[in-house]
Every structure is written in structure tokens, then in C-alpha cells.
Structure 1
């Protein structure tokens, strides 16, 4: 080891406090970087496993492939693994209670396809030959058909078809994705699973009967659309027995998924001009191979913001450490230069110091980051429980790439921080360094202070002000440290606000636990279901509601709040949208009592009246294309005139039917009836008034009535099971039983998890800022020992000495806040601009954080100054004057 490196090591040992603080800064920086990269790797692993569990491990799937041409895909140089899939056909399922799903749709997978296509078993095993089959669990839950494991079933196979006349008939025309009218005769004669059930369609038997043994029950396959007319079942495919002209699908796992978006076209052409391709978009997106620019933009901008904030804070802290070190060693560098040390050697000494600090700080930072994020994941496991069925749960994944990236970023941070001080040290001449004329340059003009300083703060205040001006480099270093800390704190807290806003806007408050959606609620079967459901055990609250979408145009601006006037403006005037909810009598009367009005007035169909839920959240796009979220009261007071309400309904063809009615507002309230989520504006009416509002719509034969049942309970899981059992035993058309309480708890847990990580990040950023300020101020104070001794020697009292330091602290805090707060506001605006393109948020600067920042800055500065100067108060003046540090 060279003598220069030995001197550097000795300097680090002699200045242990500054060395330790610098190493702590590196540890914090690298710990946060490694924590972010490790957490990102863990989240990416979870999302990839979830995508594979949901849709399979394939990257691209080719359809309309002739069996004889499949070899061009299965044996392609770019293919790692390939599976063959075949649509066997439909079989009638007459027992199905779901009128829109009257078939079983049988698909056949070969061995590779069974492992690639996300066949998630609930019971039993996968099929091993063409006489075995796996059925979906929603055949029982949704269709009401129970077929036990081991059962033997006989399925008459066939296809679905409609005639060209049916497709061209406007009254029977139906569309979903593709349209019947645009389809070829061949496609009309063999409707696919992509086309929903069509009431006029025909089942065409193929003449083939297949006998299967049920060997497994699986979750609903991801490939089956909710509108699909058949419950998807899986059997085994022996592809060696297929005829050469058989039309199959080929699922492919690529050797290099990174190039699959480009390779897919070439592979499809190799198998025939008619071949179509479909990418596993979710899996590719989570692997980072995505054309979803919005998703990538938000992901990369947030990651870049977090890493950028860490690097800025870290560079500031470490840079100041090196700047002080170089200033402190100025005389040493001058003496070395005088005996022949070159500029290059001086620079290498500073970089060697950085390398030693990196050698200690980076490994410790990596360990701290990985163990810290691992401990965090362990502690929040109870919150993650609802997500454990997604890809096997969130587990710690230590990616070599994430560790290497964090280590490289940490080392680059240290080297960048050391570069400017190293360059400065090499430029100073030997004479300047020995005399230290570059550190403190004093002229009468440079230290002149305004008269008001002495008038306000006395001689101690004037001395404090002059002390700051005479050593501008150290003064600026301290101000810069405080400035960066302020900007980082305000930027990160703003980021937290935006993140919370973007999360919470999608998770509105709900006041019920389970809901049930019923079709045709006026039928005898539906009424019996409602009667039985309302008396199930464990129900604490029950409501039945029918709903329609309502709009009102050309409202009087005088009736609206100022915010509503602005938010609801359209090209044709003020345009108000809201839900129209018709509740049962008991719930209407209960709401009227809470609001404080006579409920009887709400039941007269000849004089329609309702209660308007006045507080709502509206989303709209501005001229710049950005989404705006407006949370507001709609009406300033009860409108004097009835509202012109336009009620809308859509038939199966997507055509809109409307009816206009005048409804008076009996009361405005923010109270919500059971079933109405937070953030929704709504007009609450009785059933009698509702019938008046939709009487003309009912004349349309395509009018479909729907009713929703809302339940409040302390045991949502048990009630959900009871309702599912009731659903299977009833002949009523029950579309869905949904446990909203479980979803709401998952949402709350997700927001808690986000808060844990965000506030942990704020805490670490704050620690970096505090370490930065402490390092800068304490080192500057320690370098002024002779100065303090000289002031004491000419008669400055301990009280005067304390006043001088307090005024210095005041000047530090004021100056840093003057620059830091505006810069923090600009950083907040920058974050808002970066995030709002992909997430609908509104700008909201939290002034509470500014107050916290002001208090914290003065507290940190005063405490640090007090701590750093405490040891000088009893120090021997003669000994201090002998020091030659300054």
C-alpha cells in the first residue's frame, strides 16, 4: 500500500465521527436502493406467478393451424416448449340453471398443454387419456349442475349455428366482440366460445357421442370469457392420432421471451397465411415485455422518482462529507504537493477514501436493505393473507440483478460525491493549501452586515451573520444540506399524498357486506328467493333496490355549488349524471327519518319526489387529456323546481331507450342508504315513484328488470355460503352472489401495505437528511475551535457564546427554508405531472407538511449546534488556540 493511501486511512481513523456518519449515509442509501429493487423483484415474481396461475406459462398461442403444419411451430428454433390444443365441441347441458350458459364446451390438451395452460385443480387429478375429463367448479356454482368425481358422463357432441337471415335481422342482431352481421357463412355455421349465447341459435349434433370419466374439478379457466355460452371442460389429447387436416391451436413458450413480440409474426407465417396469434399479455407485461405504454410509463416514472430521490439525498450527504474532508485536509494536501505529489495522486487519495467507505458501507447497506425488506414482508404477512391465493403469495425474492444494480448505484453515488472535492483538491496550489487562503477569504465588503441585523439581534447576532459570510463554502454546504433535506421531505410526502389518492379513489367506502343480483325480480321464484334470503341467520341489515342511470341537463347554475358549476360543464351546458335507486318501503322510511322529513310524501306516484345524495366524486377528462377527480357537493340548496330526469335503459343489442320524468327533491343529504357506496351521487325514490319513472320503458319487450339485495352481517363468509346454497335450490335467475366485505378488507389491507412502505421510505429519507445536516454542522463547528477560543479570550461570556450559536442556527434555518420550500413545491408539482398521465389524481399540496418541515429544520439545526458546541464550553482556551486546523 502506498504512503498516500496509508495517510488516507489514518485520516479516516482520526476523524471517526465524520467517517461513521458518511458510512451510515452510504448504508442508508444502498439499503433503500436494495430494498426498492428487492421489493420490485419480489412483486414482479408474485405478478408473474399470478399470471401463470391465471392464464398459463405460454407466451404466444397460434390458432387456425393445420395439424400437418404445427411442426413449423413445435419444432421452430425459437420454441422452447409447445403444446397442442383442440376444440372438441359443445354438448347440451339441459340441467343448467344459467339460461345464458346451456352447454358444456370440451377442449383437449396434450401433455405439454396441460402443464402450460393454467389448469388449476380444486379436486382430483388431470386427465391421462381421451376418456377422462376435468369439469369446472362453476358448473355447480353457476349452473347448478353437480357431477361427482368418478362419475361417468355421456356427451352428445356438436356445434352452434345461426342462419344468415337471423344474423341480418336487425331485431335479432346481437354483438359481442365480433358481430354476427359481419361474420362469414362458415363462422355463422360454427359459432365459437367468443360469441355469447344467442336465443335464436341452433345446436347441430355431429353424431358423435363421447363417454368420459370425471377425474378432476378445476377453477374456471382464464380462457373462458364470462359471456361464453359453454362451461369449459378439459380432456386429454393424443395428438399422434389426429388427422393431418385437423385444425388445432399451438401454445408456445419461447426460448427468448424478450423477442417474442417480433418473432411471433415470423412464426405465424411459417405455419400458414391463415394462422392467427394471441399473446399472453398479462404474463409478458409483468415480465417487462409489454406494449402497454401507460403501464410502463407509470411503473418506470415511479421507480425513477424513488431512486432519483434516494440518489439526490445520498449524493448530498456523501458529497458534503468529502467536501469537508478535503477542506479539513487542505494543509496536508499542500504539504504533499510541496514534496512532489502530483494532482493525479491527490485525486486518487480522495477516490481511495471513497473506495474504502464504499467497501464498508455498500455490503452493510445491501444486507440491511434485504433483511429490512424481508422483515417488513414477514411483519405484514397477516395483511397479505387475502392475497395468498394469487401466485402462491408474496415472498422475498433476492434477485442477483437487483443486488448488483443497488451495489453499482451505491458505488456510483459515492464516486460522484467524491469527484468534485477531488478535482478541487487537485487544483489548489501548494502555497494556497498550506496557508488555506481558499477556505476563508475575508474582505470588509464580504463580511459587511446590514445595520438591522445588529439592531435586532445585538453584537452576537452580527458576529453570527459575519461568521456565516466569511466562510461561504462551509455556509453554503450547510445550507445546501438543509435545502436538499427540505426538498426531499416535501417531495416524498407529496408523493405519498398522490399515491394514497390514486389508491383510495378506486376503493370507495361500502356500507354492506354481501350483495346478490337478481334478474326478473317480480317473478314468483324471485320473490320467494328474496323472502327466504331476508330471514337467513346472521343478517344485521337488509335492503332491496332497483337501479337505473339518470341524467339531468340544463340545470340552473344558481342551484349548484361553485365547484359543481365548474366540474359539470359540457358543450351543451351543465350535465349531471347520477344513479336512480328504488328501495323497499322500510329502507325509504328509515332514510327519511335520518334526514328529518315526512316519509309519506315519497310514496305518491302522481307527485314524484326523492332524496338526493348530494356529496359525490366525479371523474372527467380535461382538454389536456388528463383525468380529473372532483369531490364535491352538487347542489347548494334544495332546487326550487323539480328536476327533469332522463332515465336510460339498454337492451340486449346495446340500443338505448329513454324516458323523461320530473322529480322534485324533498331533501339533500350525505346520509347513504344500505348498498350505496361512498362517492356516488344518487336519487333515492320509492318503488311507487320508480314505476312511474320507468313505465314507458317497460313497454319495450327488451326491457330487463334487475334487483340487488344488500346484506349487512358480522360473518360475510357464512352468509355467502348460505346464499349460494339458496341460489342452487331456487329456480330464480340469480346472476351473482358477491362477498364485498372480503374485497373491502383486501382493499384496506392493500392501502395499509402501501402506507407501510411509503412511510418507511419517508423515515429513511428523513434519516439521510438528518445525518446530512448533523455531519455538516457538527464538522463545521469542530473546525472552528480556535475561533471560539479567540472569542472567549477577548471576553465573550458563555451566555453571549450561546446567543451567537443560536443566531447562526436561526440564519441557517431561515435561509434554507427560503430556498427549500419553493423548491419543494416545484418538486411536488413535478411529481404530480409525472404521475397524473397514468393515474387520475388532483394536485393537493399539504401545508401541514410545510409546518412540520419548518419546525423540524429549526429543531435539527438547534439540537445539532447545541450538541456540537457543548464540549467547547469548558475547553481550555490556551489548548484550543494551539490548534492549527483553521
Structure 2
């Protein structure tokens, strides 16, 4: 075996503490890369169900798949950058500490290429152990998480991670390690062996000299004391280390803040309330129009209200129609939408905007006041043009621009018998009396952009609809919701398409579905935080190694140990402050992108709100962590005596 290759294990053992951090960073990076691929594949598995549908469903599924693939690649690049930043810093400091040893090897006959082989060989040996370990932890750990928390679907579990994904993750990590190790080895090749052997050579590697007047700085920043000014000066001495460290910490801040903001949008309680509109929902899963006894009639409503423990009921009629004969209420986006969904070549058919009409009791209309944007909630049921309440541009569709007094011509079809034959309704004219900010009716179709609300009497008078498709039930606080649901279940089962939904079951179901998302996102962000912590730890170690002689001189001319310690701690805090400022800006941008991407699925006409609590919490935690991590480096700087520090033999 080549004698230089035989030196690699010795160096690995000699620098085992720092190599442990390299190994930890590599394992974390592999797990993160696998986690990204698993998340993307699981989403694509769900979207694939619709991928073979025709029309807009297929296009929507393909767009989602493309978006998730792009997001996955972006996250993989972020992970690779973070890995490069950490591993580079560690290899740089280990190379720096061995400058004298490497220089002596060159003097006695070794080539610079052999030194490069030695450094790269260390990286290679670490990677061939850590990459398989990371792949095993990532693949089996995340698969187990999916299996126990969300799905036992064997086909889905098989597709969570493929051989291609494993190879891709391994290649990206290998490239990251090679880039991280190659730069320090290349820098070593530029050092003169004679200079490298000198005892004080390490103290000359402080980066480029800066024209930096300490007294001038203190005059500009009156609030800075001497240790503050020295901390600022020291961070400017090596821009490369400053950029790498701040970048690593910034990535951690942005990913953590974005993950927490995204998780704040997954609100199981809120989503369950939208799905039920109360504690219990009785509904019909297949709309049958005018077919007798397909939905809940007045006798059913009396039975429901007679059950002990029910506090309140809200009954709704419902029918899907189209608004026709006018384009004036459509925005340009609305016109394009109608053209995309129209299957007819007739121009009049391309003007038909889908709309859902809900009927409500007069007593419920009064509860809509908090939602009122403009107009009056007083509805007229018996004129030639009955009035309705409009809720438009739901889920941020921005298809219509209805206003008060607008006349709407509504048409549609209904099933006139159990065989499913369709007959057209007589066209009806409605006048918009009020516009609401958001919908008070729950639940509604997630793809609906506009709904009209009128009285139940109006739907009976103009369309002949006598039965109720939805009944929202509120349970008294002293009653047991599951006991009441058993009584209601018999009423739901008496209908061919009757269904009962309990809010507690919906919350449990959504919590289970969101569990993996929470685990992956929080795990992803926490692992990146660990990577950032390792990076700042090594940055401060490099700083102490390179400036040990400087610290000795400062102490010799009168600087106390406490002042030296304070100066180094403030340097660490400065890294935290700089990364917090940059991270704040990027976190706001990332949160807004997430808001725009996810608002149609999880929000209803809600404006973007800056996540101040999340941002301030992460920033404060970042500064505290960087300050605490600086303590070991600060103690190390004053461990030696003044004479030993000035000699600075590393």
C-alpha cells in the first residue's frame, strides 16, 4: 500500500473530533436529501390519481407534479450548499492545523499532488462510511414514519424512494464533499513549504489587509466600546469565512421560518370546522335535484331538533347552476377560465359561469353581518327578481367583479327521476342585494369561485326544491357528541346517499394526515439548524487557531482575559445578528411565496400576514445559540499563558 494512503487512517484518528462533525454533517445531509425525495414522491403519488383524467383535472395534476419537482430540486440544492459550507469549514481548519506537518512532508520529497490525495482521501473514507449510513437512516426511518402515521399502502411505500433517488442523493453528497475538501487542499498547494514550516506562519493567514481605522469607527458608532469595535474588525478580516458562515446560518433561519409558517397554515381545527360547519354535519353525497325523498325533509328536521343535547341546527338547500347571457361581470382571468373549461364551440356556452346556490333560513341570515362587505341583508323572496347575497372570488380565483344591483340570469338542469334523466330549469333572474367578504356557509366545494345565498323559500318557489342537502348541528356543551351522532346516524342512513360527519373525527383524520408533513418539515429545519450550529462552531475554532498569537499580544499590552472572552463572544453574536438580518428579509420573501402558492387550498380570501412571532422567535434563538456556541472558543483563547500564546506553535 502507498505509504501516503496509509497515513489517512492515522489522520482520521488524530482529528477524530472534527471528523466526527464532518461525519455528522454528511449523515444529516443524506437524510435531508432522502427526506426531500420522499416528500416529493409522496405528493406525486397522490397527484398521479388525477393525472389520467381528461381536461383541467389532468392539467392541474401535471402542474402540481412539476411544481413539486422544482421545489424538491431547490431544497436539494439548499441542502448541498449547507453541507458544503460546513464540511469546507471543518476541512479548512484541519488543513490549517497541519500546515507545518504538510510542509515538512513536501520538504523531504513528497509532491503537492500526494498532499492533495491525502486530504481528499480522508474525505473519501469518511464519505464511504457516512453516505450508506445516511441512506439507511433516511430510507428506513422515513418509510417507517409513513407506515405508522399515514399509510400502509404497499404500492405507495414502494414508490416513496427509488434506486434513482438513492443514487441521485448519493451523487449530490459526493459532489458536496469533493468541493468542500478540494478547496482547502488546493489552497495548501499554494503555500511555500519553507514559509509553512515557520512557527508563526499560521498567524499570517488572516486574509487581506483592510484599511480600517478603529478610532474612526468608534467615532461613527458612538455606542460601540472597545471590544465591540474589535469584534467588528475581526469579522471583516476574512470575508470568505464570514460569507460562508452567515450563508449557512441564513439558510437555517429561512428554512425553519418557512417550515413553521407553512405548518401554521395546516390548522386541523379550522379545516374540520370548514368541513362540518358545526359539531356534526348531515349531508347528501350525490345531488339528485327534485327526486323525492333523496334528501332531508321537514319531518327529518323535526326529528333532529327533538334529540336531547342539540343546541342549534342550520338547514340548507343547495343546487349547482350557471350564470348566463352576460360577460360584463367577468374579469379577464374569468373569461380565460371559462374558455379553458368550455367543451362547446358555441359562443353562448362559453359565457356560462358555474355557481352554487345555497338556501338558508331567514333567522340565519342575521348571523351574516360580520361577513358583510356592502349592501343589505334584507332579502326579497317574491318579486320578479328575487334578491340574493353573493360571495365571489373564493379561493382567490378573481374571476368576477359583481356589484350591488347587478342582475344575474341563472339556468341549470335537474334530474326528474331516479334513472338520472335531466330536464332544464326555467331561467330565473336574481338581483344582487349584498356582497360578503367570505362565505359563512360550510362546507363548500374547494374549487368554487362564486356562490349565491338566498332563502330556502326562494329555492322552493323558483326551482321547486323542497328538501335540504345539508344540516349543520351544534351540540350542547353538556351533551356527548358521539351519543347524539348515533341518534343522527339512523336519519342519515334512511337516505340512499345520506352521510354523517363528526368534527372530532375530522380533526383526528387531519392530524394524522398532517403528522408526517410536520415531522418532515420540522425534522428538515432542525437538521439544518444542527448543520448551522456545527458551522459556527468551526468558524469560531478557526478564528481562535489563527489568532492565538494576536490574543497573547493583546493580553500582554493590558487587555484582560474577560475582555478577550467578551470580544470573541461578541464576534459569535455578530454572526448571529448578520444572519438574522439577512434571514429576516429572505424569510419574509419565502413566507409570501408560500402564501401565494398555498392560499387557494388552505385559506379563503385572507390577506397575507407577516409571521412576526415566528420570525422574532427564530431570530432571538439564532442570536442566543451563536452567542452560547462562542463560549468554548472564548475559553480556548485564554487557556494558554501570554508567553505560550505569543509563541503560537500550532
- TM bin, normalised by shorter chain, reads 0.7 to 0.9
- Write the distance in 2 (CA, Å) between the matches of 1:366 and 1:484: 23
1:80-106 deviation per Cα after TM superposition (whole angstroms, max 9, x unaligned) = xxxxxxxxxxxxxxxxxxxxxxxxxxx
Change in Cα spacing, 1:535 to 1:746, as seen in structure 2 (3 Å) is: same
2:226 to 459, 464, 467: 459
Contact between 1:603 and 1:688, CA under 8 Å: does it hold in 2? no
Cα displacement (A) at 1:347: 0.9
1:704-746 deviation per Cα after TM superposition (whole angstroms, max 9, x unaligned) = 887513253845985786356523xxxxxx5x33445567764
What corresponds to 1:543 in structure 2?
Answer: 315
Change in Cα spacing, 1:744 to 1:804, as seen in structure 2 (3 Å) is: closer
1:588 to 362, 372, 378: 362
Change in Cα spacing, 1:360 to 1:520, as seen in structure 2 (3 Å) is: closer
Q: Give 3-state SS (helix, strand or coil) of 1:341's partner.
A: coil
TM-score normalized by the length of structure 2: 0.73
What corresponds to 1:410 in structure 2?
Answer: 173
Cα displacement (A) at 1:672: 2.7
Higher helix share: 2
Cα displacement (A) at 1:780: 2.5
What corresponds to 1:487 in structure 2?
Answer: 251
1:743-799 deviation per Cα after TM superposition (whole angstroms, max 9, x unaligned) = 776455323432232222111122212222222223422443333232222211234
Cα displacement (A) at 1:314: 1.0
1:863 paired with 2:628, answer yes
What corresponds to 2:56 in structure 1?
Answer: none
- Write the distance in 1 (CA, Å) between the matches of 2:569 and 2:203: 27
- Write the distance in 1 (CA, Å) between the matches of 2:209 and 2:296: 97
What corresponds to 1:61 in structure 2?
Answer: none
Q: Give 3-state SS (helix, strand or coil) of 2:394's partner.
A: strand
Change in Cα spacing, 1:745 to 1:864, as seen in structure 2 (3 Å) is: closer
1:154-177 deviation per Cα after TM superposition (whole angstroms, max 9, x unaligned) = xxxxxxxxxxxxxxxxxxxxxxxx
2:411 to 648, 652, 657: 648
Cα displacement (A) at 1:545: 1.4
What corresponds to 1:186 in structure 2?
Answer: none
What corresponds to 1:710 in structure 2?
Answer: 471
Contact between 1:354 and 1:418, CA under 8 Å: does it hold in 2? yes
- Write the distance in 2 (CA, Å) between the matches of 1:823 and 1:544: 46
- Write the distance in 2 (CA, Å) between the matches of 1:36 and 1:846: 24
1:510-560 deviation per Cα after TM superposition (whole angstroms, max 9, x unaligned) = 41533025645585x569965247526799445141445576999999xxx
- Aligned residue runs from structure 1 range 715-794, under 5 A: 715=482, 722-723=490-491, 725-727=493-495, 736-741=497-502, 746-794=509-557
Contact between 1:582 and 1:687, CA under 8 Å: does it hold in 2? yes
Contact between 1:609 and 1:664, CA under 8 Å: does it hold in 2? no
- Write the distance in 2 (CA, Å) between the matches of 1:849 and 1:301: 26
Q: Give 3-state SS (helix, strand or coil) of 1:661's partner.
A: strand
Contact between 2:35 and 2:520, CA under 8 Å: does it hold in 1? no
1:320-372 deviation per Cα after TM superposition (whole angstroms, max 9, x unaligned) = 21122222222222222222221211110110110232134224323432453
Higher strand share: 1
TM-score normalized by the length of structure 1: 0.56
What corresponds to 1:368 in structure 2?
Answer: 137
Change in Cα spacing, 1:432 to 1:840, as seen in structure 2 (3 Å) is: farther
- Write the distance in 2 (CA, Å) between the matches of 1:457 and 1:783: 25
What corresponds to 2:282 in structure 1?
Answer: 514
Cα displacement (A) at 1:877: 2.8
What corresponds to 2:299 in structure 1?
Answer: 531
Cα displacement (A) at 1:291: 13
1:835-879 deviation per Cα after TM superposition (whole angstroms, max 9, x unaligned) = 79x999998875555434432332232111123212444543334
Deviates more, 1:358-367 or 1:322-331: 358-367
Contact between 1:26 and 1:314, CA under 8 Å: does it hold in 2? yes
Change in Cα spacing, 1:418 to 1:660, as seen in structure 2 (3 Å) is: same
- Write the distance in 2 (CA, Å) between the matches of 1:810 and 1:33: 30
Q: Give 3-state SS (helix, strand or coil) of 2:174's partner.
A: helix
1:355 paired with 2:97, answer no
Change in Cα spacing, 1:445 to 1:315, as seen in structure 2 (3 Å) is: closer
> Any stretches of 5+ residues in structure 2 without a counterpart?
54-58, 338-351, 415-420, 476-480
Change in Cα spacing, 1:657 to 1:789, as seen in structure 2 (3 Å) is: farther
1:266-289 deviation per Cα after TM superposition (whole angstroms, max 9, x unaligned) = xxxxxxxxxxxxxx959xxxxxxx
Aligned residues: 595
RMSD: 5.2
Change in Cα spacing, 1:439 to 1:591, as seen in structure 2 (3 Å) is: farther
- Write the distance in 1 (CA, Å) between the matches of 2:320 and 2:41: 45
1:553-595 deviation per Cα after TM superposition (whole angstroms, max 9, x unaligned) = 99999xxxxxx99999999xxx998643223xxx431442675
Contact between 1:548 and 1:648, CA under 8 Å: does it hold in 2? no
Change in Cα spacing, 1:476 to 1:444, as seen in structure 2 (3 Å) is: closer
Cα displacement (A) at 1:299: 3.7
Whose relative contact order is higher, 1 or 2, with alpha carbons under 8 Å and at least 6 apart? 2
Q: Give 3-state SS (helix, strand or coil) of 1:582's partner.
A: strand
Q: Give 3-state SS (helix, strand or coil) of 2:649's partner.
A: coil
Change in Cα spacing, 1:797 to 1:602, as seen in structure 2 (3 Å) is: same
Change in Cα spacing, 1:462 to 1:664, as seen in structure 2 (3 Å) is: closer
What corresponds to 1:477 in structure 2?
Answer: 241
- Aligned residue runs from structure 1 range 77-476, under 5 A: 281=52, 293-377=62-146, 381=149, 384=150, 402-435=165-198, 436=201, 440=205, 446-449=211-214, 451-453=216-218, 455-469=222-236, 471-472=237-238, 475-476=239-240
> Any stretches of 5+ residues in structure 1 without a counterpart?
55-279, 283-289, 558-563, 623-629, 728-733
2:394 to 601, 607, 617: 617
1:804 paired with 2:567, answer yes
What corresponds to 1:223 in structure 2?
Answer: none
Change in Cα spacing, 1:657 to 1:313, as seen in structure 2 (3 Å) is: farther
Contact between 1:518 and 1:707, CA under 8 Å: does it hold in 2? no
